[in-house]
Amino acid sequence: MSLTTVSVRTLLILGLCQVGRRGLASAPEVKEQPKKIAIIGAGIGGTAAAFFLRQEFGPGVKIDVFEAGKVGGRLATENIGGDDYETGGSIIHPLNLHMKHFVDQIGLSPRADVPSKVAIFDGKELTFEESDWFIVNVFRMLWRYGLNFLRMHMWVESILDKFMRIYQYQQFGYSFSSVEKLLHAMGGDSFLTLVNQTLEEAMLAEGFSQVFLNDMVAPVTRVNYGQSVRVNGFVGAVSLAGADSGLWAVDGGNKKVCSGLLYNSKAVLIPARVTAISVKLRSTRAGATTNFYEVNYVEESGSAHSFYDIVIVATPLHQDVSQITFSGLSPPIPSTFPGQYHQTVTTLVHGILNVSFLGTNAKAADFRVTDVLTTDQKGSFINSLSALTPVHVAKGYRPPPANQRKVWKVFSPQPLSEDQLKQMFLSWDEVSETRWLAYPSYSPPQRRTPPFILHDRIYYVNAVEWAASAMEMSAISARNVALLAHHRWHEQTAKIDQEDLHTRLRGEL
Ligand SMILES: Cc1cc2nc3c(=O)[nH]c(=O)nc-3n(C[C@H](O)[C@H](O)[C@H](O)COP(=O)(O)OP(=O)(O)OC[C@H]3O[C@@H](n4cnc5c(N)ncnc54)[C@H](O)[C@@H]3O)c2cc1C
Ligand SMILES: *[C@@H]1O[C@H](CO)[C@@H](O)[C@H](O)[C@H]1NC(C)=O
Ligand SMILES: *[C@@H]1O[C@H](CO)[C@@H](O)[C@H](O)[C@H]1NC(C)=O
C-alpha cells in the first residue's frame, strides 16, 4: 500500500463525516418535494435507503418501509445455548465506509475482537493451518505458492483502491443509472471485464497459478458465497478482500444497524407483504395529470393499498424471493429477472466437535482453529465450519477449546442430515437451521445486470447484487438510488452518469 493511497483513504474516512451535512444543499429546488415514498424490504438495503432518502428529501416526506419478515432480512441472529449468533451476513470489511458511518451515526459499536485461526480442509485432512506467528504464515505461503500470496494482496488492494472512489463520488452527490455505469466510474473497463469473466479466468490472466486458485482461493469463495472460483471476478475480489485483517461485526448483532437506520430516518415500518405495484394517473388541481404508484400489500388484518410518489424496491426480484407483481407499467417490469439465487444453509450446532472428522491428530483440548474453510472436492457436504462467538462478547471472553460444548456454524449447500451431523459432532444438544436464498448464483459472462431504474420513479436497490452481494454493496446501492431518485425528481441531470469523474474530482479532495 503506498503512502498516497493511505492518505486518500484517510481523507475519505474523515470526509464521510461531511456527508450528512451536505444534505439538502444539493437541491436548488425547482419542484415540490415528494410527499410519500415507499420502500419494500427492511434489510440493510431498504433501511439504508430510508436513511439516505431522508438526507436527500428532508424532514417533510413520509417514508413507509414494508417488511414481510423481520427487520434485518439477511442480517439475522438465532439464539442457541443461551446466546445470540449471526446466521446471515456476518463480517464487515474495515474499509466499508457506509457501514462504519451508520454504526457511528446510530451510536452502535464494533464487537470486541476475539482471536481467530484459519485452516483449510480438503475432505481428508487440514492442508493448511494458520500459525499464531505472522512470519511463519508468510514463509509457509512463500514456500508453497511462491509470490502468489503476496501478489494476491496487491491485486486485491489495487481493486479496492478503485472501489474506494465511489465514496468520493457519492459525497459530491453523483449517481449512476445502471450497475455497469457505476462500476465503470469506479474502475473503468477493467471493472466491467472483471464482472464479465470468472475469478479463475481473471486470476489466471494475472499470472496466478491453478494450484493456488484451487488450494487457497476456492476455499475463500466457498465460505463467502458458497460457490467456486467460477463466480465473477468482481465478487471474487470482494470475497478475497473478506480474507483481509481487521474484519469486524456490530456489537449486539449486525441487524441492529437496520433497526437503528429505520429509527434514525423516522421512517414508518409497515409489517406487511407487498403483493403488487401499479401505476395510476391523478389529475392535479392545476388540471395537469401526474402518475403515482399504488402499492398493494397484505398485513395481518387483511389487504390494503397506499399511494406513493416514489417506490424503492429493496429486495431481490428473483425467482422465489419477493413475489411482487407489477402492472400497468410501460415498458413492463418482469416480476422475476433472469438468474437464480443460490441456496446456502446455515446450521448452528451447540455441541462437541469430533476433531478427527478434520483428519487431525490434535487433541481436542489443544485444537484452536476457529475457521475451517474447504477446497472444492467431490463429496464434500460442507462449505465451511466455524467456531462462533456470540454477537455480544463480554469482557475477558476467551473462546473455549474444542473439547468443550460450544456453538459451531456450518455453511452447506444442502441441509445437513442426522448422519452428517454425527460424522462431525460427538454430541450436541441444540441445532438451528436457516435456509437462505443467500446471494446470486454467479455465472459470468452475464447478459445484463438488472436496472436501478425499473420505471419513471420506481428504483431497484438489489440490482447491485449481480456485481457482488454484501452489506456494503447494498448500502452503496441505497445511496446511489436515493441520489438518483432525488436528482430525477428535481431534474438535475448533471449529477447523473457523469463520465470521467475520477479525473475531474481529483483536484477537489
Ligand atoms: C449466509 C449468508 C452469509 C453472508 N455473509 C456476508 C458477510 O459476511 N458480509 C457481507 O457483507 N455480506 C454477507 N452476506 C450478504 C448480505 O447479507 C446481503 O448482501 C445483504 O444483507 C442484503 O441486504 P438487502 O437489504 O439488500 O436484502 P435483504 O436482507 O434480503 O432484505 C430484503 C427484505 O425484504 C423483505 N421482503 C421480501 N419480499 C417482500 C415483499 N414482497 N414485501 C415486503 N417485504 C419483502 C425480506 O423479508 C427482507 O427482510 C451473506 C448472506 C448470507 C445469506
Ligand atoms: C458481457 O458479456 C456479454 C456476452 O459475452 C455481453 O453481451 C455484454 O455486453 C458484456 N458486458 C459487459 C459489461 O462487458
Ligand atoms: C470421529 O470421527 C472419526 C473420523 O471420521 C471416526 O472414525 C470416529 O468414529 C468418530 N468418533 C466418534 C466418537 O463418533
**pLDDT tens-digit series, residues 25-39:** 444 545 789 999 999
Residue 335's pLDDT band, with cuts at 50, 70 and 90, is confident
pTM value? Answer: 0.94
Mean pLDDT throughout 469-498? 97
Residue 144's pLDDT band, with cuts at 50, 70 and 90, is confident
pLDDT of 454: 96
Which three cell numbers mark 467? 456485481
Instruction: For ligand 1, pick from 221, 382, 471, 477 the residue to mutate: most ligand atoms within 8 Å of CB.
Output: 471
CA count, 13 A, side-chain hemisphere, 272: 23
Buried b / exposed e along 451-481 (16+ C-beta atoms within 10 A): bbbbbebbbbbbbbbbbbbbbbbbbbbbbbb
What distance in Å separates the CA atoms of residue 26 and residue 382, rounded to the nearest whole number? 50
User: What is the arrangement of strands in the sheet containing 36-40, beginning at the earlier edge strand?
Assistant: 268-270, 62-66, 36-40, 310-313, 458-460, 453-455
Residue 279 has pLDDT above 70, yes or no: yes
Mean pLDDT throughout 266-283? 94
- The dihedral region occupied by 362, where left means phi > 0, alpha psi between -120 and 50, and beta the remainder, is beta
**Nearest C-alpha neighbor of 114 from the set 348, 372, 392:** 392
- Amino acid in position 47: T
* Ligand 1 geometric centre to CA of 424 (Å): 29
Residue 18 has pLDDT above 90, yes or no: no
Q: Is 483 helix (H, G, I), strand (E, B) or coil?
A: helix
What distance in Å separates the CA atoms of residue 441 and residue 339, rounded to the nearest whole number? 7
**Nearest C-alpha neighbor of 94 from the set 157, 3, 45:** 157
What distance in Å separates the CA atoms of residue 223 and residue 282, rounded to the nearest whole number? 50
* Ligand 1 geometric centre to CA of 128 (Å): 32
Nearest-atom number in ligand 1 for the CA of 346 is 1
- Amino acid in position 316: P
Residue 14 has pLDDT above 70, yes or no: no
Residue 509's pLDDT band, with cuts at 50, 70 and 90, is low
Mean pLDDT throughout 405-410? 97
Highest averaged pLDDT of the listed ranges 70-74, 130-134, 496-500: 70-74
* Ligand 2 geometric centre to CA of 102 (Å): 35
- Amino acid in position 298: V
Mean pLDDT throughout 81-96? 96
Residues contacting ligand 2 via CB (< 6 Å):
180, 192, 196, 445
pLDDT of 2: 39
Nearest-5° Cα angle at 90, 85 to 96: 145
Q: Is 318 helix (H, G, I), strand (E, B) or coil?
A: strand
Residue 353's pLDDT band, with cuts at 50, 70 and 90, is very high
What distance in Å separates the CA atoms of residue 353 and residue 248, rounded to the nearest whole number? 25
Mean pLDDT throughout 367-387? 95
Residue 23: partners with Cβ closer than 8 Å, 6 or more residues away: 55, 56, 58
C-alpha pair distances (Å), 483 with each of 24, 31, 488? 11, 16, 8
pLDDT of 508: 66
Residues contacting ligand 3 via CB (< 6 Å):
354, 356-357, 423, 426
Residue 147: partners with Cβ closer than 8 Å, 6 or more residues away: none
Mean pLDDT throughout 176-187? 97
* Ligand 1 geometric centre to CA of 383 (Å): 20
Are 237 and 32 spatial neighbours (Cβ–Cβ below 8 Å)?
no
Average pLDDT, the chain: 91
pLDDT of 303: 98
pLDDT of 481: 98
In the chain, the domains with their CATH numbers are: 36-72+254-340+444-508 (3.50.50.60), 111-160+187-250+341-440 (3.90.660)
Helix axes 97-106, 44-57, angle to 10 degrees: 70
Which one is predicted more confidently, 471 or 283? Answer: 471
Q: Which residue, judged by its Cα, is nearest atom 17 of ligand 1?
A: 89
pLDDT in tens, 425-442: 999 999 999 999 999 999
Mean pLDDT throughout 338-356? 96
What distance in Å separates the CA atoms of residue 18 and residue 256, rounded to the nearest whole number? 23
pLDDT in tens, 193-249: 999 999 999 999 999 999 999 999 999 999 999 999 999 999 999 999 988 888 999
- The dihedral region occupied by 151, where left means phi > 0, alpha psi between -120 and 50, and beta the remainder, is alpha
pLDDT of 289: 79
* Ligand 3 geometric centre to CA of 424 (Å): 8
Residues contacting ligand 1 via CB (< 6 Å):
40-46, 66-69, 73-75, 88-91, 273-274, 314-315, 322-324, 344, 346, 436, 438-439, 461-462, 469-472, 474
What distance in Å separates the CA atoms of residue 222 and residue 475, rounded to the nearest whole number? 23
Determine what percent of the chain is predicted with pLDDT higher than 90.
Answer: 77
pLDDT of 149: 87
Q: Is 276 helix (H, G, I), strand (E, B) or coil?
A: strand
CA count, 13 A, side-chain hemisphere, 184: 12
pLDDT of 285: 74
C-alpha pair distances (Å), 304 with each of 229, 273, 280? 46, 10, 16
C-alpha pair distances (Å), 292 with each of 312, 345, 457, 478? 13, 40, 9, 21
Are 265 and 51 spatial neighbours (Cβ–Cβ below 8 Å)?
yes
**Nearest C-alpha neighbor of 347 from the set 397, 393, 398, 381:** 381
What distance in Å separates the CA atoms of residue 43 and residue 51, rounded to the nearest whole number? 12
